């Protein structure tokens, strides 16, 4: 059975996409079958894996414009497929608001393919909106990248409260894999204090 891992932090620039792409690629090199879902409208994971042309994206999946298999593209990274993102994903935050069971759209869409992959990695946007809530509702666990800088823990409490709410109302089995310290520089006292 495949494991779904969300990579989330509402703070931008902490290394979510770098973590997601490198984790997916490393697992692929270890001969694990991996699906990376780019759930960030900036689409950096998509471009980072060399995908230039997108027919169907995460937006189309959430809005039921396409089936999950239509959204999956191969990448040049061994054993790694991607559901790409596009700037259109910004609109999904607004369009999902009025939908019934809006928090479960991604979870439902992934049911038919979950067991075809060893790992599904979801690169979340820097927000705690409906798309990130969808990702965490679908996930088995979450990795929280935290930058080793002065404001590192700012907003972490809010993210942990959001995770607690998702565990209470939508996904009681969601585990926190841990905090992943990013951009660590051992020469800086501040980096060492964050650790």
pLDDT in tens, 49-92: 999 899 999 999 999 889 999 999 999 999 999 999 999 999 98
pTM metric for this prediction: 0.92
Classify 168 as helix, strand or coil: helix
Owning domain of residue 142: 3-194
Q: How many domains, in total, are found in the chain? A: 1
Residues of the chain below pLDDT 70 = 150-152, 183-195
Domain of 52: which CATH number?
3.40.50.300
Distance of CA 26 to the CA centre of its chain: 16
């Amino acid at each position: 059975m495949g494991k779904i891992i969300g990579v989330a932090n509402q703070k931008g620039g902490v290394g979510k996409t770098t973590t997601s792409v490198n984790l997916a690629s490393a697992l692929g090199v270890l001969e694990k079958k991996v699906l990376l879902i780019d759930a960030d409208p900036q689409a950096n994971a998509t471009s980072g894996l060399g995908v230039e042309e997108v027919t169907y994206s995460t937006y189309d999946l959430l809005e039921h414009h396409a089936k999950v298999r239509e959204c999956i593209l191969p990448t040049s990274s061994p054993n790694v497929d991607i559901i790409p993102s596009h700037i259109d994903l910004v609109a999904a935050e607004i369009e999902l608001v009025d939908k019934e069971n809006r928090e479960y759209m991604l979870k439902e869409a992934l049911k038919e393919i979950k067991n075809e992959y060893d790992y599904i990695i979801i690169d979340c946007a820097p927000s705690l909106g409906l798309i990130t809530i969808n990702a965490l509702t679908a996930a088995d666990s979450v990795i929280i990248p935290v930058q080793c800088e002065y404001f590192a823990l700012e907003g972490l409490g809010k993210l942990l409260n959001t995770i607690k709410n998702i565990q209470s109302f939508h996904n009681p089995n969601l585990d926190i894999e841990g905090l992943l310290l990013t951009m660590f520089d051992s020469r800086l006292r501040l980096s060492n204090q964050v650790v």
